A and B are shown apart, each in its own frame.
Chain A
Amino acid sequence: MGASQTRSAHKYQDLVDRTGFSVEQIKNLHKRFRHLSGNEETISKENLDRIPALANNPIKKQIVDAFFDKRNQHQDEVGSFEEIGFEQFLMVMSHFRPPTLKTTEDEKEALRKEKLRFLFNMHDTDNDGTITLEEYRKVVEELLSKSGAMGLEAAKAIADAAMLEVASTNVPHMAPDDFYEGITFEHFEQILKGLEMESRMHIRFLDVDTTTMRCGKSTS
């Protein structure tokens, strides 16, 4: 009993170093992980699909897929897992950590890149380094999938317009016969410069003390 506790504490410490979460946050997430997996060591797509709150999310499939994508594990692997353990779960979650006041400019830049890379990977399903028009259309279609036929009708037009915009901002002069293959990561960075991803793409992870949480909701 005591031995297992020290072991888990040790393991947590390792995770703290690698993901940047605090021990409390990790414990909280672990509890949630256990709950989702039904006390198993690993979690499968079905487990995540069953979360009732996700049912209404138009991009549910992409979110779930992102958890099983090896590219989001900070290791140079590609492909996807069938099941993920807690460590992988935590790794994916770590993309959504907020920056702190102490974060330096360089770190912020790295953080931004990392978050953008996560998004880019969600779009770039075949991992060829570009988001092609087909892939982009798919994204917009998913995004509008909850709005019926009208959404599908418009999705293509919107994706095309968006693609055109990317092409014209990044490669301003193309001969009529040139072909813009797709959005590379550099172009992706360029077009989303204005969104300040580093300060927007984050959620609040629960610490143990929930009073902070409650106040935080009103002030965030």
Chain B
Amino acid sequence: MPSRAGPHSPAGVGKSLPERGLLLLLMVFVFLEGSVLPLGAASSPDISHKENVDNHQVAAVVHNNTKKAFPVLDLDYKHVQTPFEISLWVLLASLMKLGFHLIPRLSGIVPESCLLITVGLLVGGLIKLAGEQVPPVLDSRLFFLCLLPPIILDAGYFLPIRAFMDNLGTILMFAVVGTLWNAFFIGGLLYAVCQIQPANPNPLHTLELLPCLLFGSIVSAVDPVAVLAVFEEIHINELLHILVFGESLLNDAVTVVLYHLFEEYSGQGTVTVMDCFLGVLSFLVVALGGVLVGAIYGILAAFTSRFASHTRVIEPLFVFVYSYMAYLSAEMFHLSGIMALIACGAVMRPYVEANISHKSHTTIKYFLKMWSSVSETLIFIFLGVATVDGPHAWNWTFVTVTVILCLVARVIGVIGLTYVINQFRIVKLTTKDQFIIAYGGLRGAIAFSLGFLLDKNHFPMREMFLTAIITVIFFTVFVQGMTIKPLVELLAVKKKQEAKRSINEEIHTQFLDHLLTGIEDICGHYGHHHWKDKLNRFNKKYVKKCLIAGERSREPQLIAFYHKMEMKQAIELVESGGGVNLPSAVPSTVSMQNIQPKKPPPAKPAERALPQLPRGREEEIRNILRGNLQRTRQRLRSYNRHTLVADPYEDGFGDFLLKKQKMIELEKKIKDMNNYLTVPAAPPDSPTMCRARLASGKDSDFKPAQQQKGSKICPDPQAYRGKPDSDNVPTIHVDLASPQSPDSVNMMDEFRRAGQQQKHQQQEENQGLMMKPPSGQSGPKKPGEADSDRDQQKLTRCLSDPGPSADEDEDEPFLP
């Protein structure tokens, strides 16, 4: 390293080559030694190469022009070094992820994790080729404090609680007993193998039992990061996913305890019965303590979010900060941080979700996904870099024996444990399931980081351990990770159902819960369902009241689900861009009318609803326009740095429903002229609407479609009413900047929208509602309508409806 002799060679953490190139430039500038050109620049990875050159040129220019004078342009790389390097790494990781998904067909063959490790290897190799020192990127502190938490939080927050709790026993069995078995089996047999080689003098002979066991406990834990990366791609059924993934999460406590225990005692060399007992005790403390810490922070987060309704923008922050605090607090006491995070995420989620606004929820979702995916990418890249970097001590015997033992121990462990578990399980694990569980036992970066933490003084074999750990990781991630997908196909293991949960399924899930609880009660013994029911009731009665604000705390799960479903449908509809393709929720021509038992005698399409049209229709149009005007006004005055829109959830919901309905209507019109008026295909009686109607003193009974629509369109009784024109049908001047052809909706640009707003404002001032048939309508102009008279009427009516697009695209920027 010839050029790093200057005073500016800090041995910072996480330094990489590209920055070193810049560092050299800096030195060039400072010491006015223009002739010493950066060595590192030649070996920079391509991202920063250009920057390098540019900077150098700039530096040179400045250097030439400003001798001793006031520095017009100054270069102070050191000032920004650390954040700059971090950003570069993140950028590299994101670009790699991007590129990976751009290459067609590659993602179908190779799992992302493998490719990222390869990238890491390449980057590391490049750095090494340049003769630079590879930065210790996968530093244990960095890994455990920064990279791991986002992934675990993401996993914990979105943990499918029901599946997890239903299989908790099995998961715990695999996580605790399975990991213990693996650790002792691998460690013990490894020690035995190291002893039987009497012939040649081998360094392995010096290896004692405790370091072997320590190594075994490090290498035996299934890694959540690796499992997630691979299992996300193979879309396996929920049971297997939760079994393997749950195991990888919960075995953390075992690993932590074993690690500290063996590390502690390998110095002393003797273990007494007392120590074993303390170890068991410590395990309980570490595991339960972690869960407790997490649960406390989770409840705190839920409680805090209860009062966050006035500062919606910082709501998501509570989730992140409280969880991170939980992790750090647990780590502080050497408790299981992973379990704390899982508990925290799982505990806070139901309450936080009920409290925060819909947008905050989306934010949380995206932030968690973003962070965890960046972390994951970085971890795999760093794993590759660290592989190139590390001082390796390759010992054929040790490495091969380790790999083989890992496989054998896993297989035996799974088969043995399943045999025991199946005695108690009601839904038994089949042979296929066992195979996938055994095969899905991937090892990953946690093992590496733990190995990296080992003290070289206590463990002279550290390098050999690290090499063996890396080999195991590479073997599992590459060989098993790449073959598991074809194997899943080959064995025809049941896949995850992609379909969303339907309202019927939700009803029957609830029904079944109560039914089974009831049957258990009749049988007179208190099983699984009984206790679950008790817990639910307790939750509803006390906990929810404390942690959830407002009336949502009393909302039963089914109603909450229904609201969520409606919301989702509405959003999908809006996002799909004006009803181009209706979401699957209402894919058919079936409407409310078709299931109403007491429907009015069906009228002929021609006469249907025609008589009462002008009045109701007029009202409707006015209401829509009024809505637009109000929203425009609201938007114009409501921009604020700290609030997005005044209460987006509650306000948005009504609008969504309105829009949804309007859009379905439009769709119908386009599809079929004959029944376009009578079919409001949306489930018309949403609870929100019920409430709204109750508030406005209207009856919630079913009415013929036409009236119902009318009543719904004005959910707000205090809304401003347009001055009713005394003449017949008033003319509405809606500048349908987006013609009703759905395709054009997306092409709306801000400019036109702004224009529209202005127009609306003008209208508002004039208070004159003018109607004229909009020009760009594509829908109703279906050729070949027979009866011209009726047709004409229909057309006018159809045209007079401004349709959803006018208000829809106006509002779009604010919709999540």
Contact = CB atoms under 8 A, between A and B. Distances in A.
A172 B587 contact: yes
Contacts of A62: 515
B678 interface: yes
A35 B596 CA distance: 46
B748 interface: no
Given A165-B503, A174-B594, A180-B590, A101 B519 contact: no
Task: Give the most central of A29, A99, A176, A205: most B CB within 10 Å.
Answer: A176
Interface in A189-220: 191-192, 194-195, 199-206, 212-213, 215-220
B522 A51 contact: yes
Given A60-B518, A151-B559, A154-B559, A200 B505 contact: no
Contact of B683 (A99, A140, A157, A178): A157
B525 to A, nearest CB: 5
A32 B504 contact: no
Interface magnitude class on chain A: 35 or more
Contact of A200 (B425, B512, B530): B512
B805 interface: no
A193 B315 CA distance: 38
B528 interface: yes
Given A153-B690, A174-B594, A220-B426, A194 B499 contact: yes
Interface stretch (A2-10, A68-76, A77-85, A142-150): A142-150
Contacts of B568: none
Nearest to A115: B512
Interface magnitude class on chain B: 35 or more
Q: Is the interface of B mostly helix, strand, loop or mixed?
A: helix
B516 A203 contact: yes
Contacts of B675: 176
Contact of B556 (A56, A147, A176, A201): A147
B523 A32 contact: yes
Contact of B426 (A98, A167, A176, A192): A98
B679 interface: yes
A138 to B, nearest CB: 12
A156 interface: yes
B421 A219 contact: yes
B683 A59 contact: no
A150 B559 contact: yes
A192 B516 contact: no
Contacts of B520: 203
B595 A220 contact: no
Interface in A85-137: 93, 96, 98-101, 119, 122, 132-134
Contact of B505 (A60, A171, A173, A191): A191
Contacts of B516: 96, 201-203
Contacts of A99: 426-427
Contacts of B678: 176
Contacts of A140: 507, 558
7 contacts: A56-B533, A119-B515, A143-B507, A167-B594, A174-B588, A180-B595, A192-B508
Given A101-B428, A201-B515, 17 more contacts: A51-B522, A58-B514, A140-B558, A143-B511, A153-B700, A160-B683, A164-B683, A168-B588, A169-B502, A176-B589, A176-B593, A176-B602, A180-B590, A180-B594, A192-B505, A218-B172, A220-B424
Interface of B: 166, 168-170, 172-173, 421-428, 430, 497, 499, 501-505, 507-512, 514-525, 527-530, 533, 537, 551, 554-556, 558-559, 562, 565-566, 585-597, 599, 602, 675, 678-679, 683-687, 690-691, 694, 700
